[in-house]
Every structure is written in C-alpha cells, then in structure tokens.
Amino acid sequence: MKKLSLIIIAAALCSACTKNYPVANYDIIPQPKEVKLSEEKSFVLSQKTVVYYEDGLQREAQFLSEYVDDILGFAMDVQAYQDQANGIVLKLDSEDFDQAEAYEINVTPKQVTIKGFDAAGVFYGIQTLRKSLPISQLTTLNSQLTLNSKLSTLNSQLPIGTIRDYPNFAYRGMHLDPCRHFMDLDSVKIYIDMLALHNMNQFHFHLSEDQGWRIEIKKYPELTEVGAWRSGTVIGHNGNLYDTIRHGGFYTQDELRDLVRYAAERHINIIPEIDLPGHMQAALATYPQLGCTGGPYEVWRRWGVSDDVLCAGNEEAMQFVEDVLNEVMDVFPSPYIHIGGDECPKVRWQQCPKCQAKIKELDLKADGRFTAEDYLQSYVMNRMAKVVEARGRRVIGWDEILEGNVSETAIIMSWRGTEGGIEAAQKGHDVIMTPSSHLYFDYYQSEDIANEPNCIGGYLPVERVYAFHPLPEELTPEQQRHIIGVQANIWTEYIASFRHVQYMAMPRMDALAELQWNNPEERDFDAFVERCRKMAQLYDLYHYNYAKHIFNPQAWTDTVVPNLATRKPITLREQPAEKYAFKGAVVLNDGELGRSAYNSGRWLGFSGTPLDAVIDMEQNATVTNVRFRALVKKGSWIYNPSQAKVLVSDDGTTFREVAQKSFPISGWADKDGIFTYELEFEPASARFVEVVINGHDLPEDHDGYGHPAWIFVDEIEVW
C-alpha cells in the first residue's frame, strides 16, 4: 500500500517535471529587502550543477550542497572557482556593499552568483536560496528514506532576477537556559541550526543558575561534580511537592570548544553567561564558604529567585568569579561576555558582617535613589567588567545593572520591558532589546491554556512578537543607534525537553527574525503567515517541532452571536487602565471573545474606576436584555463586578435607567473563570444604551486588601 502511493506520486511528478520543474519562491523569512525578477526563463538547478567557491568560501559551498541535498535529494559538486564557470558561484566583494553581512544573489539562465560583503553575507545568501527552494511531497518522502532508497532527485527552477539584502541589526540573538533543565549537546547544535536558518548570529548561552551549574571549570572541578546536579525538582508552580529524580548535566570544555567551532561555521557567536552575584546557589551548594551565611545550601529544587547570593565582602568569592570568568574566556572567543546581574536580592548582604565591612571600606552610601547594597552590586559588576575588558572583551548585563553606577562600557540587555533599554541608550550604553512583554518565548502562545503544555505563564502570541518595534520613539536617531540588537529568551523552568524548546521557539522565532533582519515600518501579518507556511515545510523536513496556531486561526477565535451592539460606535466615559486599554472601547463590542489570558487584547481592565460605555445602535430598536462577560482570577486581583446598570436614551444626552443588579463578591471557595452577567428589563425603545459596571474592593482575606479589585470585561451584548 505504502509502496503504491510512492510510485503514484513519483510518476505524477516525473510526467510534470521534464520541462516544468518546481519553481523556487523568494518570499521567505526574513523577507529579502529587494527582489527584482525578470520574465526570462529560469536557471535549472540539477545534479549537474556545480558550486564554485572563491578562497575562504569552501565551507559555505559545502553548506549549500548539503542544503540542496536535504531539500532536492542531490548533493552538488563543490569546486574551487574557475573563470566563466557555469553553475553557482560564491564570491566576496566588500566594495559592492555598505555593510557587513550584506549579500546579492544574481540568477541568470546559465549562472547563479552569490556575492557577499563577507563570508557571513555569502552564508545568508545561501540561507535565502535554501529557504526559496521548492519543497514537495517527494522531498518529504525522501527525507524519510535512506540514501540508497531515495525515490529520485528533484530538479528545480530558480526564477531569473536579483536579490539584494542586508540586516538592520548587527546583533540578532536567541538565548537558551540549559540550567533549569539540562539540554544535551546534540540538542544545542540543533538549536544553533535553527538560529542559522533564521539568519541569527548570536547565541546567548546561560550557563549558571541556582538550579544547576553547567560548564566544567578546571580550577573548581567540584562545580560540576556537585553543582551540576539537583536531587529533585518541585512539581508544578512552586508548591510543596517535589519529585526525587536526580537531574542535571554539564558540558566539558572540550565539548564547548567543539560547539564554538560548530556555531562559528554557521556565522554564529556564542555568548556565555555566568550569572552573578545572584542566581548562584548551585555554586554555593558546592562551596558554601562563598555565601554570606556559610550554608549549608542545596542545588535549588525550586524555581524563583534565591535570597542566597555570592558574598560580595568575601575576597575568596570575588577570586572565584574572576577565575571562572577567565576560564570561560579561554573557552569562548566571544567579543561579549554576559555577567548576569539580574534579580539579586540584598537581604543577606544587609545582615552580613563581611558585606557591611566592604560597604564601609568602599564608603558606599544610600542616596535616595539606590541603597548602599545596590552600590555594592555595582562594585562587584564593575570589578568583573574589568576582568573581562582586560582581555579585550565587552560585558553584557541584564538591565538591573543600571541600578547603581554601572560601567559606561557595559552593554545593557533590557528585559523588564523597554524602559531599561531606553534609559541606557540615553546614557550612551549599547543596548540589546529583549523585553519580556514581547520576546520571552517561555510564555504561553495560545489563550487555550488547557491545550498547551504547562508553562511559566503570560501570553505572548506570534502576533505580539511580530508587532514589536525595537527602536523606541522616545529616543533620538543618535540614541537609537545604541540599540544594537534584538533577542528572544527561552527559560526552561517548565520546559523539560528539547522538543518542547522547539515548540516554544517556532514560529515566534520567525517573527523575531523579521524584526532583527528587517524591522519593517509597515507589517502585514497575513503575508508573514504565508511565508511562515513555507518555513513550516522546512521544519517538517528537519523534524523540528513547532506550534501551529497561526496556520489555523479559526480554531482559536471565539465570537459572539451578532447582536444590536456588535461593531456599533462605542465610547467610554471612563478610561481603562493604560496597560489594559489595547484598542480601546471597540474591544467591548468587536464580537471577539477572550480566554483566560487577560492581557490578550480581547479584554479591557479597570481598577478603581467603573466601566461606563455608551453604544450607539445607529437606529431605534427595542431592547430587553444586556449581557456582558467578565473574568474572575482572584489570585491576580481580578474579581466579579459588584454592580451593573443599564440606561437607555434616544438622543445620547438624556439617559433613563432601566435595570440595575448587584453581585456578591466571589469567595475563595467559588471557582475562578469567565462568567456571563445578564440584566433583563421591560422592553424599551432606544437608540443609545449605556452600561455601567462597578468593581468590588479586595476583601480582608486577600493579599491586596485595601486596594480596589480589577474588573476585566471582553464583550457587551445588547438584545
């Protein structure tokens, strides 16, 4: 049965292919900046095509041959360049381009030239050609067969024309955390392949954490004997249950050197991160004398931010970090070394005689903006920055390092929103934008949480990634030049397997690739999705796992039955909270329903002010019923409404109340969820309907007692 269907497909393809080979399509991700096509006949890519390379481009030529083999089923011959060669020619021409990594592909009937400013440019030209190749059923079938049994090779046509392209951002990164859950070396190599496919050039490798130390350090061998292993892991979201499965792993320096080579071949730099002075509990578990209390400590089995950090007043702890950084720099030639700096609680330092003595010795003082302990962290970070800079490298730190007196040369990674990045760029720091609001790929990508793998929370669909503008308008053009790059992060507290990493990465990574390479002013999401479909064929070919929500949008848009209010003019007398205002009043009658993610753009959120909406039905109607949906999520301070009123008007000026209803506050024993509230009344003739919804105050048994509760409403219906 299987054999028969293979033959039918092969036959169908072959009858079609004598003259009409499948045609490449240059609409890919990231979209090339300039594509000029002519109507002439095409270049035929076949088994006879030879790849010629100029000096220094042999590896690139091999890559091209390998990619064509993956997709079309034949490897091309690779030869040093000869004059007038027909085939695909790879060459360098820095004169013809304004910037590094730029490339041009010129396709004529006899020859394809891929020309780059540098080898990286040629490599991106090759990526573009690779992503343009037609992927057919035959490709997919071939990929499942062994070399000897491949069905046939598949010629294809490349349309005649010229593509010229270059990246907008010099730094195009993705991060991976193999500390919360260890990812083996082969998986990390596949991750690097994924980056290369998306024209990314920086891999931020987060190598130390409270929950595991992942890099061999020769001077401190116990770090990986002890610090790389935890005895169990908390179950779920930091409850009191733990499994007792030993978890861990680490990379030897030899393995990491091999990884550096592997990435460099793909024009990717690996940026190692040693996160300090916080997130160090695995190191403290190994060497308790490096902490303020002396321990004992365990390699942490929970998630979150540990209070136990390196003792900043202990010279041995400082020497430890210097030694570690020096070995890290021996292994990684990266021009950037990441030294963390995020989420470092100061509670131990406040109590620690050594830390307090250091504060005295350095004459550090609180000044209203920052505490003496904040300045102590700056002292640690700046001291380590000197160690890094002494070897001709630059430090990167998370945006917390702005709290104090950070070294001017430090590059700031803005993760708690874009504000840190804005402040840093204004102060003259170089900045990498990686705000959790748009680029944390450990967040949910669908509102349909019940059908998603468990994750850390949040809601970050592809649309939101695609809508991110990395250059804040608050900055002058001069300051904007300090935004050197864009990056997404994948933290793995709730991601235990590499398949799951891939699922979280793609296709959000496609949206990221567009921002990094093109940062387009105008964005067309539908066209982007079509280009993603082509990438998805490659993902299937390479057996990459990826999320498919955007290819099937109907499956996750819930709508209301159209009613008298649907998509009619609507105004708000009171504004929602800025953070939850989204498109404004129209969210309330656009017919689209939200799910449990209240920051999805489908809900409006109010705190301390009522929702007061006026709907103009545009003609007189008889109304008898108003319904609305509200969210209850008590842990997030979101409660049911306390009261709702309906008023009607003929002229939009004088309103008359027709219904009012009160709702008792939801208790802890009541379920959270989405609830519909309904007000029925005597038939009333009206053109305008006003709906006023008030919130409760948080009750005494709530952490937020003393504050108003939030109300979130997604849709108002009038019948």
Interface residue list for ligand ACM (CB under 6 A): 342-343, 398, 415
CA 347 from chain center: how many Å?
Answer: 32
354, interface contact from ligand ACM, Zn ion, none, CB < 5-8 Å by kind: Zn ion
- Residue 354 near Zn ion by CB under 5 A: yes
Minimum CB separation of residue 404 from Zn ion in Å reads 17
Instruction: Supply the Cα-derived Rg of the chain in whole angstroms.
Output: 29
Would you state the structure tokens that stand for residue 673, as one six-digit string? 């969820």
317, interface contact from ligand ACM, Zn ion, none, CB < 5-8 Å by kind: none
672, interface contact from Zn ion, ligand ACM, none, CB < 5-8 Å by kind: none
- Beta bridge partners of residue 247, listed in sequence order: 230
| CA–CA distance, 271 with 195 (Å, rounded to integer) | 14
CA 517 from chain center: how many Å?
Answer: 15
The residue (of 60 and 177) whose beta carbon lies closer to ligand ACM is 177
Burial of 562 (0-12, 13-18, 19+ CB in 10 A): exposed
311, interface contact from ligand ACM, Zn ion, none, CB < 5-8 Å by kind: Zn ion
The residue (of 354 and 383) whose beta carbon lies closer to Zn ion is 354
The residue (of 512 and 604) whose beta carbon lies closer to ligand ACM is 512
Question: Which of 443, 712, 467, 697 has its CA nearest to residue 580?
Answer: 712
- Residue 32 near Zn ion by CB under 5 A: no
Minimum CB separation of residue 416 from ligand ACM in Å reads 8
Q: Are strands 103-107 and 161-165 parallel, antiparallel or unpaired?
A: antiparallel
415, interface contact from Zn ion, ligand ACM, none, CB < 5-8 Å by kind: ligand ACM
Minimum CB separation of residue 203 from ligand ACM in Å reads 16
Give residue number: closest CB to ligand ACM.
Answer: 342
CA 461 from chain center: how many Å?
Answer: 10
* Three-state secondary structure call for residue 680: strand
* Residue type at 33 in one-letter notation: K
The residue (of 415 and 603) whose beta carbon lies closer to ligand ACM is 415
Structural element, H or E, at residue 330:
helix 315-331
- Residue 173 near Zn ion by CB under 5 A: no
203, interface contact from ligand ACM, Zn ion, none, CB < 5-8 Å by kind: none
Minimum CB separation of residue 274 from ligand ACM in Å reads 14
Q: Kindly write out the interface string for residues 429-468 of this chain, putting x where it contacts Zn ion by CB under 5 A and - elsewhere.
A: ----------------------------------------
The residue (of 248 and 340) whose beta carbon lies closer to ligand ACM is 340
The residue (of 343 and 697) whose beta carbon lies closer to ligand ACM is 343
The conformation of residue 274, written as its DSSP 8-state character, comes to: E
Question: Which of 52, 51, 46 has its CA nearest to residue 74?
Answer: 46
- Beta bridge partners of residue 112, listed in sequence order: 88, 107
DSSP string, 155-200: -EEE-SEEEEE--S-SEEEEEE-TTTS---HHHHHHHHHHHHHTT-
The residue (of 311 and 632) whose beta carbon lies closer to Zn ion is 311
In the region spanning residues 273 to 332, those forming contacts with Zn ion, defined by CB under 5 A, are: 292, 311, 313
Would you state the structure tokens that stand for residue 87, as one six-digit string? 């085939």
The residue (of 338 and 629) whose beta carbon lies closer to ligand ACM is 338
CB 228 within 8 A of CB 213: yes
355, interface contact from Zn ion, ligand ACM, none, CB < 5-8 Å by kind: Zn ion
313, interface contact from ligand ACM, Zn ion, none, CB < 5-8 Å by kind: Zn ion
| Site for Zn ion, rule CB under 5 A | 292, 311, 313, 352, 354-355
